[in-house]
Amino acid sequence: MARFDGMVVWITGGGSGIGRACAVEFARQGAKVAVSGRRVEKLTDAVADVTAVGGEALAVACDVTDEQGCRDAVAEILQTWGRLDIAIANAGYAVAGYATKIDVGDFRRQYETNVFGLLNTAYAAIPSLIEAKGRLVLVGSVASYLAPPKMAAYSSTKAAVRAIGESFALDLAPSGVSVTVLCPGYVESEIQQVNNDGEFRAEAPNPKHPLMVPADKAAREILTAIHRRKLITPITGHGHVLVWMKRHMPWLMRALIKRF
């Protein structure tokens, strides 16, 4: 018996990167998967990937900054499959730039997607998750611990995600809903091709970081964390190491960030 047999999973940002890889892995492990995002063609590709491994998938176009759109997405999932067991608030992007080069408007746009979009997703899903005693999964980042140069907007939103997750976990525990906050390190994605306005640019370069982990490998680690109902967990081996160093040797971590 697969770990997620018969469960229904909703993944925002499900058309590419971690979200798409998780959709395929959930299908391999017995779940039905609904993928959401703004780019319909990417959702169609994700559904094809799920179908290719013998799974059942649904594309539900949705912009997480639209509160009613998130509720409509859940309504479509319930109409199709009658339940929702796992919701993964994965949609997000990164505003990059030195503090002297970005402004409050950049922070506001970043928070609108990465924090308020995540909350729109969570609140749309929570009633169904309570009914199923399911799992709410929030995607943070190792950057929430490290806060590297040029990443103040992004890192601060992901730190907010960790705080929201810890508090929600306590609030939702009596209802039987678990909360998992994932903090990935460098994972293959299209995030570097999304500009500071949140617009995808296919022609933009997408360089590979030396530590970058394939999305399918990260997805397997993510599903294990969700299955075990872990609260907060770094994802990828280097992610675990970097978080440990930040906690136990912050002086060294800061020196390395400055150096590299």
Residues annotated as catalytic (active site), given as ranges: 154
- Burial of residue 187 (CB within 10 Å: 0-12, 13-18, 19+) is buried
- Single out the residue of 196, 102, 175, 184 nearest to residue 138, CA to CA: 184
How many angstroms separate the Cα of 204 from the Cα of each of 101, 103, 251? 20, 23, 35
- Burial of residue 259 (CB within 10 Å: 0-12, 13-18, 19+) is exposed
Provide φ and ψ at 240, rounded to 5°. -60, -45
Q: Is the CB of residue 168 less than 8 Å from the CB of residue 180?
A: no
- The b-or-e profile of 16-40 (16+ CB within 10 A means b, else e) is bbbbbbbbbbbbbbebbbbbbbbee
Nearest-Å Rg of the Cα atoms of the chain is 17
Q: Is the CB of residue 212 less than 8 Å from the CB of residue 235?
A: no
